[in-house]
Structure formats: C-alpha cells, structure tokens
C-alpha cells in the first residue's frame, strides 16, 4: 500500500484540534510516550503521529496477510506437479504389485496380513503426499519439499521395480 495519507484529507482527521485528550486512540504498539510529550519532542501534531502509527500498523498487517496468502511461484508449482506425478506413479506401482499376488485358496492369518500390508502400501503414497502438504502448510515452503522428497525416497515401490510381487 503506497497511498500515504493525504495531508488534506480532512475527513479523516481533526485538523486544528490541539486538545490531546481528543487525539485519536493510538493502536497498541504505537509510540509509548504520551501525546503531549511526543508533540514537544518532534514538533509534530498528535494527529500526525497517530496517523503515522496507524499507517505503519496497517502496512505491517497487510504485509503479513500478503505473505500468508502469497501465490506459489511457478517454479514451486512445477515442482509440486513433478512430485505429485512421482507419487502417482508410486501408487500405480504398488497397485500393480498388489495385482501380481495370487490369492491363496486357504485363508490363513498370514495371507490376510499380507493383503492388509499390500493395501496399506497402496495407501501410503497418497497419504504421505497429502499429509506432507497439510502438516507443513504453515511452515516455510522448503519444509514441504523436504518432506515430499523424503517420501519419494522412502516409498519407492521396490516389489514392482524388482519384478516380483
């Protein structure tokens, strides 16, 4: 926000009113000194001081809000796309490795746990991807990428790549 408050913008000020008790309430965090002291020190009116403090605060708030809702850079978008693609391929790899299993005729504890593990393995890649995005969204974007890259290393579908089941 570059529009500084206009000196002539009388609608928003009380020009000429020197009574310090009528000064606009300063937002918290503005100059701590009493209005009269501030005026004596700098030679500026209370109103100007208050305006300035208000402007500063507004600008700070806006900068923080802009940072929070900042758009992703195109490089980050492309990286997300590539990583998302890798996770998708991993998921497909795990699905294919699941389809290679021959379901045994006799159902035992072992065969059931095997199927459970394979189902979980299919779910692992999308779960990791979504969780990494969700849990790091309030942190710096590089944390998101660090976790996504760790996932790419951990979730490689070796059973599929090695050709076994």
Question: Smallest distance from the beta carbon of 104 to another protein, in angstroms?
Answer: 15
Among 22, 78, 89, 120, binds another protein (CB under 8 A): 120
Identify the CA nearest to 152 among candidates 107, 101, 89, 97. Answer: 89
Q: Binding of another protein at residue 154 (CB under 8 A)?
A: yes
Question: Smallest distance from the beta carbon of 117 to another protein, in angstroms?
Answer: 4
Q: How many C-beta neighbours within 10 Å does residue 129 have?
A: 23
* Rounded distance between C-alpha atoms, residue 146 and residue 91, angstroms: 20
Q: Binding of another protein at residue 134 (CB under 8 A)?
A: yes
Q: Binding of another protein at residue 137 (CB under 8 A)?
A: no
If binding means CB under 8 A, how many residues of this protein chain bind another protein?
Answer: 29
What are the two backbone dihedrals, phi and then psi, of residue 86, each rounded to the nearest 5 degrees? Answer: -60, -45
What distance separates the 2 farthest-apart alpha carbons in the chain? 94
Q: Binding of another protein at residue 89 (CB under 8 A)?
A: no
What are the two backbone dihedrals, phi and then psi, of residue 101, each rounded to the nearest 5 degrees? Answer: -70, 130
Name the residues that contact another protein, by CB under 8 A. 27-29, 57, 94, 97, 109-110, 113, 116-121, 123-124, 127-128, 131, 134-135, 154-156, 158-159, 162, 164
């Amino acid at each position: 926000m570059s529009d500084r408050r206009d000196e002539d913008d009388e609608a928003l000020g009380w020009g000429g009113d020197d009574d310090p008790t009528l000064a606009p309430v300063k937002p918290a965090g503005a100059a701590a000194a009493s209005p009269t002291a501030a005026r004596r020190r700098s030679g500026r009116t209370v109103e100007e001081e208050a305006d300035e403090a208000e402007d500063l605060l507004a600008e700070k708030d806006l900068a923080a809000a802009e940072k929070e809702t900042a758009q992703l850079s195109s490089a980050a978008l492309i990286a997300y796309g590539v990583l998302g693609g890798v996770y998708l391929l991993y998921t497909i790899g795990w699905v294919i490795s699941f389809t290679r299993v021959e379901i045994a005729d006799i159902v035992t504890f072992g065969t059931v746990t095997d199927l459970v593990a394979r189902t979980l393995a299919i779910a692992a890649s999308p779960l990791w991807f979504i969780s990494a995005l969700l849990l790091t969204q309030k942190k710096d974007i590089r944390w998101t990428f660090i976790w996504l890259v760790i996932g790419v290393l951990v979730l490689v579908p070796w059973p599929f790549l090695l050709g076994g089941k």
